[in-house]
Every structure is written in C-alpha cells, then in structure tokens.
Structure 1
Amino acid sequence: MATPADDLDTITERWPTLRASAGQRPVTSWPPAMGITRLMSEEERQEHAAERADTAPDAPGPRPAPVDVDVLDVMTTIETGLITTADWLAERVQRPAVTAATGRGWSDDVHRQVALIAARDAADPRRWRYTGQQRDAPTAAEWLALRLRSVPGPFRALDDGEREAVARVATMGATLLRRALGEQRRREAVPHPCPVPCGGQLVVEGGDGAPPVVRCEDCGRTWTERSAGAA
C-alpha cells in the first residue's frame, strides 16, 4: 500500500508528465457524454450540439491555443498546497541557522571557525528555502517526503499532527495528479433519472483509462459506450 511519502514521490516523478499534458488541447471531457445525450431534453441537446460546434478543431473562426486549462488548474492547486505546507512545516521543525558574533575579526581563529560553521549551516541544501527559484511542486514534494522519512538534517522529528497534515496534502496532490493524467477512477452523479421505469439515480464511473460505465443505483442497469443494453 502506498504511503504519503510514496504519494509525494509520485508527484515529484510525474510532474514533468503533468506539465507536458497541460500544453495539449484536451481530447476527452469528464464526465463522458456516452449515451446520456439521449436522456436530455430537446433544448439541452441543442445546447450540447452548439457547444461541440464551437470547440471542434475544424470549426470556423480562431482556434484557442493548445492548452488544457483544467490541468493548469490542477497544477496550481497541487503546487500551492505543497509549498504552503512546506513553509508551514519548516517554520515549526527547521532549526534556525547558527549565528556567529561579529567584531572579533578574521584574525581570531575561534571567530573564524565559528563564522565558517554558521555560513555552512545557513547554506545547508537540506534546508527549506522561503525565497528563490526552487519553490516549486517537485522540490516541495521531495522535501516533505524526506521529512516524513525522518532523514537527518537541521530539523526536529515530526509529531503525529504534523505527519497527518502532510499526509493529507500528499494524498490530495497524488489523487489530483493521477486524475488529471487519466489514471484515477472517478464517480459522479448524472443529472438525469434512469430511463427505465425505476427512475433511479444514475452515476458515471471512469476516468482511469478503462471504458466508462453508467449505472443505475436503484435497478443496477448499466450502459457502456459500446452497448446501450443492460449488463
């Protein structure tokens, strides 16, 4: 079973893939239309057709830039959550850098040694930085994963509450990433009743690469893209 640290590793490793997918026009939408359009009213069908005509690649007029806005939103959400959590955690567990008293000059051996120790401690690459260019999702995910694994450094050990807070952000981020890449199965209610006499609640499941399925929660009848009959 994946741990929160594993989820953070996933974000670090898959971030380039997510970034690349953001630069592509989406080819699918969620939830998938499937045969649900047959359940729409005539007005809803017309609106659906007009929307498809406006967004089709061969539609007249200027085309939007090839970018997936939904993926960009996911990236912003993940990155903001990770960096905010790293800032919060570092404020709590990261030891302040050693400081050296000034005024004795470099001719004093003790002062020189203490000053060098302070400089090295402040520049320790294991420290989380509150400024600079390395404040991005992969860097924050890697730093948080190391804290969960208690890798030594200028930090104290995390308490249970801190571990739980980081774990929540890690799970959320990995889930959003897998969902954006089509690797996370999703489930969503359909705003139309079951077309058979039961009139029950329909739900659509999919989004993980497997064929999506519409299922009635009352009678159990299912629909797939290949078949409109009951399973």
Structure 2
Amino acid sequence: MTTTATHLRTIALHWTDLRDALATTGLATWPPAGRMADYLSALDRADEQLVEAARWQAAYARQYLDRDPSQVGETRPPLRIAILDTMRVVEAALHDTTDQIASSVQRPAMRPAPATWPAADRERRNALARADAADPRRWRWTGRRRPAPYTALWLLARVENQPGPFRRLTGPEAEQVGVVAAGAAERVERALDITAQKRTLAQRCPCGGEIDMHGGEGRPPVAHCVGCGRIWTESGVIAA
C-alpha cells in the first residue's frame, strides 16, 4: 500500500517537473486524442474543465498565429492550462490542509519573561522566546505563502513525527493528511503521465460491452472491450 509519506514525497520531488511541463507540448492527455479516439467517437469525453481549457488554448494559439510578426508586443503561446490548473489545485489543497493541521498541532511560541524577573534571568528567557518564535520549522500564516514542495515536506515531517514545536498527529488528523496527499499526488502523476491509468469509457463497443482504456507511464494507450474482447490501439483494431 502506498503510504501518505510516499504521496507527499511524490509531490515534492515532481514539482519541478510540473513547472518544466508548463511550457512544453509533449505530454500526453488522458484519454489520448488521435485515430483511436475518432474511431470510438472520441471515446470518453474529457471533463468540462479540461475541454474548456483546451478550447481556450486553441483559440489563443490561433490568435497568436494570425498575428503579424512585425507587430509590436509579439507574445508567446500560453502555458499549458491543464498543468497550471493541476498546480493551483494541489497548492491550494496542501496549503488549506497545512493551515488546519498547524493550527491544531503547533505549540504557541514561548512568552517573554515578566518584567518582574531579575535582569539576567529575564534576558535568558527572552532570548529563548525569540529563538522559539523564529524557529524555521514553524508554519506561518502571514507573509509570503510557501511553495508546494515546502508545504508537502512540512506535512511529511508531521506525519513522521519529526522534532519541533508540535505534538503528534491524532488518528483523524493523520487520516485527513493522507486523503489530501493521495489526491494531490494522483493529480501530479496524472498530469505528468507517470502512473498507470485505467478508465471505463462512456462509449460502448458495437457489441454493447463496456470499453476499458489502459495507458499511462509513457505507454501507448490500449482500449479493451470487456464483453467481446475486442482490442483497439491508436492504429485501429488489433484483435476482435
């Protein structure tokens, strides 16, 4: 079973890959477009968000191609919208979860010494209080938001009960982090096409059976009818 720690490491390790993929066009979409999609009446319809993103991107690209190269302010085609959406959703989920978890498990900073303490004792206590408040392991709710890899690793430290001004996660808190981490890692892997995928398509086989599509991990997609056993690849029917 894939653990919460593994999911959080996946997010942190592959975040740079997502940033690199923003400006590239070589990543596969799922389900894949092409001859097989045409043969199966576009197979499974992509969800509305991705369809709308693709439509917007295509329109923007046509506008870019129609521009006169001599025009002032020539612009480049847009970033990959699906990748950008993945990054925004994952970042938001991680930050919201970390805000909630930190508000429960993070110990308040040490208070300064009372003015009535002896001067030497007061200075030692105040030095400790300043160091405690500035502890870089603390999650902070103000100022610049931390990048997703940092947030994932902060949650990983809590899952692994690393030392710091925190108490151990309770069972429900660990479960909450696990659910969010699994969903976020799945989005990252799907966006980068680095995990095996399977989907039952809305389109039925001519025999009436359901069609399962398998792909991902850089492999060519294959569709298989669970009823008659027919198999399709991007080049057409290979078995019936």
**Shorter-chain TM-score above 0.5:** yes
Q: Does 1:174 align with 2:174?
A: no
User: Cα 1:40–1:7, aligned 2, differ >3 Å: closer, same or farther?
Assistant: closer
User: Cα 1:190–1:2, aligned 2, differ >3 Å: closer, same or farther?
Assistant: closer
Answer whether contact 1:204 1:212 (CA < 8 A) is retained. Answer: yes
1:79-90 equivalence runs, <5 A? 79-90=91-102
- Offset, 1:166: 0.5
- Offset, 1:185: 2.3
Tell me, what secondary structure is at the counterpart of 1:193? coil
1:11-160 equivalence runs, <5 A? 11-25=11-25, 28-33=28-33, 34-40=35-41, 61-62=66-67, 65-101=77-113, 103=115, 108-160=119-171
User: Cα 1:117–1:40, aligned 2, differ >3 Å: closer, same or farther?
Assistant: closer
Tell me the alpha carbon deviations over residues 176-216 of structure 1, each in whole angstroms, 9 at most, x when there is no partner.
11111111222334343213xx2222232223211101111
Q: Quote the Cα distance in structure 2 between the aligned partners of 1:216 and 1:76.
A: 36
Instruction: Tell me the residue number matched to 1:213.
Output: 222
Answer whether contact 2:159 2:174 (CA < 8 A) is retained. Answer: yes
- Offset, 1:104: 5.1
Q: Quote the Cα distance in structure 2 between the aligned partners of 1:95 and 1:39.
A: 57
Instruction: Tell me the residue number matched to 2:46.
Output: none
Answer whether contact 1:22 1:68 (CA < 8 A) is retained. Answer: yes
Q: Quote the Cα distance in structure 2 between the aligned partners of 1:158 and 1:218.
A: 47
Answer whether contact 1:26 1:68 (CA < 8 A) is retained. Answer: no
Answer whether contact 1:214 1:223 (CA < 8 A) is retained. Answer: yes
- Offset, 1:101: 4.0
- Offset, 1:66: 4.2
User: Cα 1:207–1:125, aligned 2, differ >3 Å: closer, same or farther?
Assistant: same
Answer whether contact 2:39 2:236 (CA < 8 A) is retained. Answer: no
User: Cα 1:39–1:225, aligned 2, differ >3 Å: closer, same or farther?
Assistant: closer
User: Cα 1:83–1:39, aligned 2, differ >3 Å: closer, same or farther?
Assistant: closer
Instruction: Tell me the residue number matched to 1:46.
Output: none
Instruction: Give the letter aligned to residue 61 of structure 1.
Output: D
Q: TM-score, normalised by structure 2?
A: 0.80
- Offset, 1:148: 0.5
CA-based RMSD of the aligned residues comes to 2.7
What is the aligned-residue identity percentage?
A: 38
Q: Does 1:204 align with 2:213?
A: yes
- Offset, 1:64: 6.7
Q: TM-score, normalised by structure 1?
A: 0.83
User: Cα 1:160–1:70, aligned 2, differ >3 Å: closer, same or farther?
Assistant: same
Instruction: Give the letter aligned to residue 21 of structure 1.
Output: A
Q: Does 1:184 align with 2:195?
A: yes
Q: Quote the Cα distance in structure 2 between the aligned partners of 1:142 and 1:131.
A: 19
Answer whether contact 2:7 2:181 (CA < 8 A) is retained. Answer: yes
Tell me the alpha carbon deviations over residues 155-174 of structure 1, each in whole angstroms, 9 at most, x when there is no partner.
11111111111111111111
